[in-house]
Amino acid sequence: MSKHTETSAAVLRTTPLHRVHTDLSASFTDFGGWQMPLRYTSDLAEHHAVRRSAGIFDLSHMGEVKVTGPEAGAALDHALVGALSAVAVGRARYTMIVSPSGGVIDDLIVYHVGDEEYLVVPNAGNRERVAAELVARCAGFDCTVEDISLATCLIAVQGPRAQEVLVGVIESGAAMPGALRPLEGSEKDDCGPDVLCGPTLLERLRFYAAVRATAAGHSVLLARTGYTGEDGFELFCGAEDAVDLWTVITSAAAALEPTVIDGEPVPALTPCGLAARDSLRLEAGMPLYGHELHEGMTPYDAGLGAVVRLNKGAFVGRDALAARAEQEGTEGTSVLVPLTAEGRRAARAGAPVLGDDGEVLGAVTSGLLSPTLGHPVALALLRPWREDAPAWPVGTALVADVRGRPLEVTVVDSPFYKRTR
């Protein structure tokens, strides 16, 4: 299968890698209208593999929308909350698209991949709406919007050994100054004046940067981005190339020495499903659309007001967001609060969070027993602590109602987990 399977609304889509996943005996789940691997062996094994070795993910359900033309940057400045025209070629930025009333339609990663070209990556379930909104919002600008999602696949390699895994796969890439950090003596490994050899490219690629590269003979966009809290890379490729690229990556990794985890040898690279990706992102304090973000709230309500650039000029939703920025701490607003607990009983999404007087302050949006930390962690949307100080102080003791039983929780700093660099 060389392309995404398009189906009726009642049937889930599958990615070009679906046969690979079935051959690996994956369990599947419905995610954003796609049948995606939930796990291959066990959630815990896959989670620990990413934290301590490396994992490979099929993320081809994600959207890819290309915006090109002389006014592409200005168009995205108008369409999104961030200042995308200010992003250097070769760099990426986390941003959002909001409704005219300021509600979050989706959170996005935008890559500036060429002088007049950007790649916008929306979440799977929001892809069609985001693409339609971009077409409408960019209509008055000299640019073209093209949804290339069904012609594109995304493979992620994440974890401490990600670079080692890809050294034999990435052959060369463009020497884009904005995307690369200088390394002493790296010139001797350059393939040419405008091209870097694979090992040099991987080593020099900055976090939140991307370059055009060749991997296993295929043209890819190689990005140093991810959703796990670990170092790693994401490779955007043509749908027709996905199976071969996955096979080459996993074959290269199979030739490497295993990683020893808790006294047991683990392959250098482990296929991982969406269950592990969710536990990894939560430990890293990263929001998930539909949980920490939705259209009924603004970026400020999730503690993500920093992505909004009110001073860049007019954009869709600006007036509403400017008004909301003046309302921090007032009744009807919310703040995203990281919580931890002792023991092994975790507060899951929807669990009410109460103050010491029994007042309901809000609810958990995501929660689990952290595989890495060994204790429960959760994110919760709560009312502000005080109007003059909306953020809840670290160390504040609260209570989560877990199926009618109280669970003592404590406000902590985010993220829960931060990798050692």
Contacts of 123 (CB under 8 A, 6+ apart): 32, 62, 63, 106, 107, 289
Which helix (H) or strand (E) is 210 found in, with range? strand 210-215
**According to the model, what pLDDT value does residue 40 have?**
98
Contacts of 22 (CB under 8 A, 6+ apart): none
**According to the model, what pLDDT value does residue 9 have?**
47
Which residue in 324, 346, 343, 342 sits closest to 333, CA to CA?
324
CB 261 within 8 A of CB 53: yes
Report the alpha-carbon distance of residue 246 to residue 16 in Å, rounded: 11
Q: Hey, what are 183's tokens?
A: 């390394």
CB 290 within 8 A of CB 125: yes
Domains of the chain in start order, with CATH, are: 65-132+296-326 (3.30.70.1400)
Measured in degrees and rounded to the nearest 5, phi and psi for residue 79 equal -85, -30
171 CB burial (10 A radius; 0-12, 13-18, 19+): middle
Amino acid 16 reads: P
Q: What counts of helices (H) and strands (E) characterise the chain?
A: 9, 24
Report the alpha-carbon distance of residue 311 to residue 356 in Å, rounded: 40
Amino acid 355 reads: G
In the chain, the largest separation of any two C-alpha atoms, in whole Å, equals 68
H helices of 33-111, in order, are: 43-52, 72-79
Name the pTM for this structure.
0.95
Q: Hey, what are 112's tokens?
A: 């500036």
**According to the model, what pLDDT value does residue 197 have?**
86
Distance between first and last Cα of the chain = 39
pLDDT tens digit at each of 421 positions of the chain: 456 665 444 589 999 999 999 999 999 999 999 999 999 999 999 999 999 999 999 999 999 999 999 999 999 999 999 999 999 999 999 999 999 999 999 999 999 999 999 999 999 999 999 999 999 999 999 999 999 999 999 999 999 999 999 999 999 999 898 999 887 665 555 677 788 888 889 999 999 999 999 999 999 999 999 999 999 999 999 999 999 999 999 999 999 999 998 898 999 999 999 999 999 999 999 999 999 999 999 999 999 999 999 999 999 999 999 999 999 999 999 999 999 999 999 999 999 999 989 999 999 999 999 999 999 999 999 999 999 999 999 999 999 999 999 999 999 999 999 998 7
